Structure 1
Amino acid sequence: MDRDSVDWFGYLPAVTTPFTATGELDLAAWRGQLDWLAAERLHGVIVGGTTGEWFSLSEQERAELFRTAAEQVGDRLTVLGGCNAYTPAEAIRHAEAARAAGLHGILLTPPPYVVPTRAEVVAFYRAVSEAVDIPLCVYNWPRGTGVDLDADLLLELSALDTVVAVKNSTPDFGGFVRSLVALRHRVRYFGIPTNEVGIELMTTIGGDGLMGAGAVLGADHPDFFRALRAGDLDRARVLGARDRVIMEDWFGPDYGARFGNAQAIMKYALTLRGVPAGHVRAPLLPLTPAEQDRVRATMTQLDLLP
């Protein structure tokens, strides 16, 4: 497999997992959220990622989310399964569940907390690639894993049989560009910012889009990339500026939340829009009233409240 084995492009967000107020998985809300995302013409979704609180999901719950997403929107959107895990055996079981559900691919970080060596990172991905025949997107997430995959290491990983894409969330912009140049002809490359820099990168060097989080702006997110593909750079700038408001108000340069937690921010913002995003699950906490006010202010500024 390589970049031409898939048609992934544009905005594919890691989406929130709805829980009830008492912490149960809310599949009715999940279906409603997925329908809203499809109606907003997202290019795809990532299920059970960091925004989806994979760390508090049981193996059975993650598989159920995969199956439900495939049934609900698999014919309308690209659906990727988040397979983050501490061991290759766990990641393989999640990847097998994604394949059994009929998902279009999987997203996988190096093992979090472990801080693996370069050789251990390669061995981890090789084990998953050799065990499950499903398109794989390598996710470089230094904030969550403690390791930053540089261009040489990503190039080595791109040679694995099932690797077709990279989501690069490094805060090292120079490293991001070096990896883009090294990988653009081999795998799909995501992480392009929705600003003038991103426009310049995609129109002069390459890149395939952004695997963001939450999709709070709805259609504005994918339409940025549709505008770029159509050559309408003025419209892309307008849409990108709206996304920049959210990124600057709510998140820091390493993609961490400026207040509360990213999952609660996204869920509260979506709920304000009438989307059934549900509650966060422990150990995460809901936003405080003051934090909710910050989210509401941004949503008001962007004219997103009903």
Structure 2
Amino acid sequence: MDRDSVDWYGYLPAVTTPFTGSGELDPAAWRTQLDWFAAERLHGIIVAGTTGEWFSLTEHERAELFTTAADRVGDRLTVLGGCNAYTAAEAIRHARAAQAAGLDGILLTPPPYVVPTRAEILTFYRTVAEAVDIPLCVYNWPRGTGVDLDADLLRDLAELDTVVAVKNSTPDFGGFVRSLVALRHRVRYFGIPTNEVGIELMTKVGGDGLMGAGAVLGADHPDFFRALQAGDLDRARTLGARDRVIMEEWFGPDYGARFGNAQAIMKYALTLRGVPAGQVRAPLLPLTDAEQQRVRGTLTRLGLLS
């Protein structure tokens, strides 16, 4: 497999998982949320990623989310399954569940917290790739894993048979560009910012889109990349500026939340937009009243609330 084995492009956000106030998975809300993502014409979604609170999901719940997403929107969107885990054996079980559900691929970070060596990272991915024949997107997220995958290591990972894409959420912009140049002809490359720099990269260097989080702006996110495809750079700039408001007001340069937690921010924003995103699950806490006002203020300035 390589980049030509898949058609992944544009905006594929990691989406929230709706829980009830008592912490139960809310299947009805999940189905409604999936319908909204499809109606907003997203290019795809990532199920059970960090925004989807994979760390508090049971194995059965993750598999249920995969199956429902494939059944509900798999004919309209690219659906990737988040398979993050502390061991290769766990990741393989999640990857097999994604494959059984009929998902288009999986997203996988190095084991979080462990801070593995380069050799351990290669072995981890190789073990998963050899066990499950499903397209794999390597996810570089130093904030969550404690390791930053440089261009040389990503190049080695891209040689694994099932690796077709990289999501690079490094705060090291120089490293981001070096990896883009090194990998653009081998795998799909995601993480392109929705600003002037991103426009230059997409039009002059390469890149395939953004695997962001939450999709709270709905169609604005994927339409940024549709505008680039159409050569309408002015429209792309307008749409990108709206996304940058959220990124600058809610998140820091390492993609961490400036207040509360990212999952609660996204869920509250979606709820304000009429999407039943539900509550966060412990150990995460809901936003305080003051934090909710910050989210509401941003959406109001963007013209999304009356």
TM-score, with length taken from structure 1: 1.00
The aligned residue for residue 267 of structure 1 is 267
SS of alignment partner, residue 300 of structure 1? helix
Displacement of 1:305 after TM fit? Answer: 1.7
Q: What is the alpha-carbon distance in structure 2 between the residues aligned to residue 124 and residue 27 of structure 1?
A: 32
Displacement of 1:257 after TM fit? Answer: 0.1
Aligned residues: 306
CA offsets per residue over residues 41-97 of structure 1, 9 Å max, x none?
000000000000000000000000000000000000000000000000000000000
Structure 1 unmatched ranges of 5 or more: none
Q: What is the alpha-carbon distance in structure 2 between the residues aligned to residue 37 and residue 223 of structure 1?
A: 13
1:47-62 to structure 2, matched below 5 A, reads 47-62=47-62
Q: What is the alpha-carbon distance in structure 1 between the residues aligned to residue 220 and residue 267 of structure 2?
A: 18
1:92-131 to structure 2, matched below 5 A, reads 92-131=92-131
TM-score, with length taken from structure 2: 1.00
**Amino acid in the other structure paired with 2:178:** R
**Amino acid in the other structure paired with 2:152:** D
The aligned residue for residue 289 of structure 1 is 289
Structure 2 unmatched ranges of 5 or more: none
SS of alignment partner, residue 281 of structure 1? coil
Q: What is the alpha-carbon distance in structure 1 between the residues aligned to residue 278 and residue 305 of structure 2?
A: 17
The aligned residue for residue 210 of structure 2 is 210
Q: Say if 2:163 is the partner of 1:163.
A: yes
CA offsets per residue over residues 221-255 of structure 1, 9 Å max, x none?
00000000110000000000000000000000000
Q: What is the alpha-carbon distance in structure 2 between the residues aligned to residue 304 and residue 56 of structure 1?
A: 31
Q: What is the alpha-carbon distance in structure 2 between the residues aligned to residue 218 and residue 83 of structure 1?
A: 25
SS of alignment partner, residue 292 of structure 2? helix
1:63-212 to structure 2, matched below 5 A, reads 63-212=63-212
Q: What is the alpha-carbon distance in structure 1 between the residues aligned to residue 149 and residue 171 of structure 2?
A: 11
Q: What is the alpha-carbon distance in structure 1 between the residues aligned to residue 305 and residue 78 of structure 2?
A: 28
Sequence identity of aligned pairs in percent? 87
CA offsets per residue over residues 98-156 of structure 1, 9 Å max, x none?
00000000000000000000000000000000000000000000000000000000000
SS of alignment partner, residue 155 of structure 2? helix
**Amino acid in the other structure paired with 2:71:** E
**Amino acid in the other structure paired with 1:302:** L
CA RMSD of aligned residues (A): 0.4
CA offsets per residue over residues 19-38 of structure 1, 9 Å max, x none?
00000000100000000000
**Amino acid in the other structure paired with 1:227:** A
SS of alignment partner, residue 167 of structure 2? strand
**Amino acid in the other structure paired with 2:140:** N
The aligned residue for residue 27 of structure 1 is 27
SS of alignment partner, residue 152 of structure 1? helix
Q: What is the alpha-carbon distance in structure 2 between the residues aligned to residue 212 and residue 185 of structure 1?
A: 22
SS of alignment partner, residue 166 of structure 2? strand
**Amino acid in the other structure paired with 1:58:** T
Q: What is the alpha-carbon distance in structure 2 between the residues aligned to residue 110 and residue 265 of structure 1?
A: 25
Runs of 4+ in 1 over 6 A off after TM superposition: none
SS of alignment partner, residue 161 of structure 2? coil
**Amino acid in the other structure paired with 2:297:** A
